[in-house]
Structure 1
Amino acid sequence: MSKTLTDSTGVEVTVTLDEDGRSYVIAVEGGAIAGHAYFLPGPEAETERIFYHTVVDEQFGGRGLSKVLVAEALADSRERGITVVPICPLFVKKLQQTGDDYQAEGGRFRNATGADFDIVKKQA
């Protein structure tokens, strides 16, 4: 998965799934990596992803990159039939705001449990 979009300033950015690195990566013009949305497999490893940390380098701040990154990670998860388990506050907030629409479009998510937090503590 690799998708070219624009940030809030109109500059092209690319979001790519890095399966080995267990993250979605956002890159800016010139290919510089600006940030990551990290995930781990959930208890249902093949069908769940626990999104636990999103980071955008401060030199790229103010461009809305974290919003683009979260939205694309959610869209790709929906397209792949993956259930999203949000622990990262950015994912929690986005799904609180748009969860009904996300589900109406075929996306799936569930609230994190203690077991999910344990997975993150052990693996992250």
Structure 2
Amino acid sequence: MPEGLTDNTGASVTVRLEPGDPVGSFVVSVADGSRAGRADFADSRDGAGTGERIFFHTEVAEEFGGRGLAGLLVREALADSIRENLTVVPLCPLFARHLSKHGDEFVADGGVFRRPKPADIALIERSVRGG
């Protein structure tokens, strides 16, 4: 993950990947190490090494609001999806809004995304329940 990120106040922040099986997260933290928010996802890969990343929940703690952390979190998560060659499926409204506004830029940078399908919702429900 890139270094040197700053929020709207100029404060240093970090975004890091916390892999999980089946649910992982991208976590944004402020300079003192406090976790400010996260974007949860589930990856679905095939045997050929390609796959999809379904973003289903994003939140930033209220006390960190207005600092642009959600936008940083979304942009870094999408950049990682490009690096990992994963198609993004935006179930999360924040990711869906971002891609509706900036989808052409995401695609120009090498990203791929598609609209969610009922099967994606079912996959997330199974992943979250652990079954």
Is residue 108 of structure 1 aligned with residue 112 of structure 2?
A: yes
Instruction: Measure the CA separation in 1 of the matches of 2:122 and 2:4.
Output: 34
Query: Structure 1 residue 117: deviation in Å?
Result: 0.6
Q: TM-score, normalised by structure 2?
A: 0.88
2:6 maps to which residue?
6
Alignment RMSD (CA, Å): 1.6
Instruction: Measure the CA separation in 2 of the matches of 1:112 and 1:49.
Output: 11
1:51 maps to which residue?
55
Equivalent of 2:38, from 36, 39, 47? 36
Query: Structure 1 residue 43: deviation in Å?
Result: 6.7
Aligned length, in residue pairs: 124
Is residue 60 of structure 1 aligned with residue 55 of structure 2?
A: no
Structure 1 residue runs of 4+, over 2 Å off? 1-4, 42-46
Which has the higher mean CA deviation after the structures are superposed, 36-45 or 92-101?
A: 36-45
1:9 is matched by which residue type in structure 2? T
Conservation of the 8 A alpha-carbon contact between 1:4 and 1:15: no
Instruction: Measure the CA separation in 1 of the matches of 2:25 and 2:2.
Output: 12
SS of residue in 2 equivalent to 1:3: coil
Instruction: Measure the CA separation in 2 of the matches of 1:3 and 1:91.
Output: 22
Query: Structure 1 residue 3: deviation in Å?
Result: 3.4
1:16 maps to which residue?
16
List alignment gaps of at least 5 residues for structure 2: none
Query: Structure 1 residue 46: deviation in Å?
Result: 5.1
List alignment gaps of at least 5 residues for structure 1: none
The percent identity for this pair of structures is 47
Q: TM-score, normalised by structure 1?
A: 0.92
Conservation of the 8 A alpha-carbon contact between 1:42 and 1:119: no
